[in-house]
Amino acid sequence: MSSYVAACQYSMSSYVAACQCSMSSYVAACQYSMRSYDAACNYSVSSYVAACQCSVSSYVAACQYSMSSYVAACQYSMSSYVAACQYSYDMSSYVARVSTVVLDTAAERKWQVTAINVGNMKDERKDEAYRSLFQDLENKKERRVILDCEQDKVKDIMEQIITIGRHVKGYHYIIANLGFVDGDLSKIQYGGANVSGFQIVDFEDPLVSKFDQRWEALEEKEYPGADSKIRYTSALTYDAVQVMTEAFRYLNKQHIDISRRANNGDCLANPAVPWAQGVEIERALKQVRVEGLTGNIQFDQYGRRVNYTVNVMELKNNGPVKIGYWNEVDKMAVTKSDLFPNDTMGLENKTVIVTTILEAPYVMLKKNADLFMDNERYEGYCVDLAAEIAKHCGFKYRLKIVGDGKYGARDAETKIWNGMVGELVYGVFPVRKNYSLV
């Protein structure tokens, strides 16, 4: 916590006043943690530290997920990888320190790991760079990848993975941040690749559910992001403010004066000059124990967060699914029943999109097709067969004619599939909830 003590040299009096607001009101709390990461917290949000977007050393020390524990969760997935994998990370975020731990662990356990920094790729050529990167990995037969970067960058990388057809069966991607459900993975979920990751915010938790309802009810123009579920970085910021508030509330009850009435310190002093009240604040932070949006929040004697749970997720055909969890007591606990779910169950609640091609006598447009809608516009052997299968199995379906009129072939140079095969591989047409592809 010494780094926190040094970090507290800026004026705390205004921050104390800000944090003493009533946290009982979720909307009021949102105004601290959600409206703007910079303005809401009133304490220099400058870099993405400890999965929190707060650079304040106090929160890094007090609320940071112990990286050794986090990596331990990753180790479960990595150990099932065999010995070789490719580790892509972004040095521009907190994952720089995680990457060090992962690589150190790999060396200790004699894993063969190739580390690649994707944070220094120029925006104007990043797509080309990503494609080149994964094409090179394919040439080396490396198909196990850990993506240690935030969801925006994961999305960009995944789009290029799909473009070159590296999202099919035989590939395994671990998304090593704590917000597996924050990003849109719908385009890759039907390809066949194994995509897994971690989730710190449990949306089935009543506390989170209640907060999320109130959050999504806010005006999006005034509260950017309020039209969607809370992201894990925002949840961590909210919890950070709650921790600080509880700590200052405790200090007030103990009649400990932590205010600074004059600017008599130098934030740039080298070496840093500790603030006299820093020890009291450190002690108060360590005593905090609350239920936050990221679960149980408490700290050990060193200021590290303990007794928390991270859900382990996997991408299935019906979306992200929890397959287990990790905590310091149980370590990696796998929910066996979730590992191999029966994907055919619940088919009656889905609409199956059947991609096909106009080819007599299998699929043909009726002469008066303009008078009909949807599947009724077509006739032929395959049309009748699809109707009988749907009737027998009890599901809905929609015929979709392939856009380029081709069955599907792979370009020798670009390695990209076209035709019906391409639509299945890349999921190029819009797919809504409760839709499957065949």
Strand partners, 197: 175, 313
Instruction: Give me the pLDDT at residue 16, please.
Output: 35
Q: For residue 138, is pLDDT > 90?
A: no
Band (pLDDT 50/70/90 cuts) for residue 180 is very high
Structure tokens that stand for 226 in this block = 């309020």
Q: Is 195 in contact with 173 (CB distance < 8 Å)? A: yes
Name the 3-class secondary structure at 242.
helix
10 Å CB burial of residue 312 (0-12, 13-18, 19+) is buried
Of the two residues 133 and 66, the one the predictor is more confident about is 133
Give the helix/strand (H/E) hosting 378.
strand 378-379
Instruction: Give me the pLDDT at residue 131, please.
Output: 87
3-state secondary structure 293-321: CCEEEEECCCCCEECCEEEEEEEECCEEE
Instruction: Give me the pLDDT at residue 263, please.
Output: 59
Band (pLDDT 50/70/90 cuts) for residue 38 is very low
Quick one: average pLDDT of 346-360? 79
Instruction: Give me the pLDDT at residue 110, please.
Output: 81
List pLDDT tens digits, range 83-99: 456 556 565 545 455 56
Distance CA 332, CA 311 (A): 10
Q: For residue 234, is pLDDT > 70?
A: yes
Instruction: Give me the pLDDT at residue 37, please.
Output: 34
Q: For residue 264, is pLDDT > 90?
A: no
Instruction: Give me the pLDDT at residue 96, please.
Output: 54
Structure tokens that stand for 282 in this block = 């450190």
Quick one: average pLDDT of 267-279? 80
Q: For residue 33, is pLDDT > 90?
A: no
Tell me the average pLDDT of the chain.
74
Q: Is 236 in contact with 51 (CB distance < 8 Å)? A: yes
Q: For residue 1, is pLDDT > 80?
A: no
* Other beta carbons less than 10 A from residue 300's beta carbon: 11
Band (pLDDT 50/70/90 cuts) for residue 27 is very low
Q: Is 57 in contact with 4 (CB distance < 8 Å)? A: yes
Q: For residue 5, is pLDDT > 70?
A: no
Q: What is the pTM of this model?
A: 0.61
Q: For residue 430, is pLDDT > 90?
A: no
DSSP states of 156-196 as a string? HHHHHHHHTT-SBTT-EEEE-SSBTTTS--TTTTTSB-EEE
Of the two residues 351 and 88, the one the predictor is more confident about is 351
Instruction: Give me the pLDDT at residue 428, please.
Output: 55
Of the two residues 177 and 34, the one the predictor is more confident about is 177
Structure tokens that stand for 158 in this block = 């995944």
Q: For residue 188, is pLDDT > 90?
A: no
Band (pLDDT 50/70/90 cuts) for residue 78 is very low
Instruction: Give me the pLDDT at residue 239, please.
Output: 96
Instruction: Give CA 210 to chain center in angstroms.
Output: 21
Structure tokens that stand for 165 in this block = 């057809």
Q: What are phi and psi of 93, to 5 degrees?
A: -125, -175
End-to-end CA distance of the chain: 56
Band (pLDDT 50/70/90 cuts) for residue 262 is low
Instruction: Give me the pLDDT at residue 388, please.
Output: 92
Using the structure block, give the residue that is written with the tokens 């089935």.
Answer: 204
Instruction: Give me the pLDDT at residue 201, please.
Output: 96
Amino acid at residue number 3:
S
Instruction: Give me the pLDDT at residue 276, please.
Output: 74
Distance CA 371, CA 109 (A): 67
Instruction: Give me the pLDDT at residue 60, please.
Output: 34
Quick one: average pLDDT of 331-347? 61
List pLDDT tens digits, range 387-401: 998 888 788 899 999
Of the two residues 224 and 232, the one the predictor is more confident about is 232
Quick one: average pLDDT of 190-206? 91
Distance CA 153, CA 151 (A): 5
Which domains, and CATH codes, for the chain?
A: 2-63+205-305 (3.40.50.2300), 67-199+310-339 (3.40.50.2300), 347-437 (3.40.190.10)
Nearest to 132 by CA among 160, 90, 171: 160
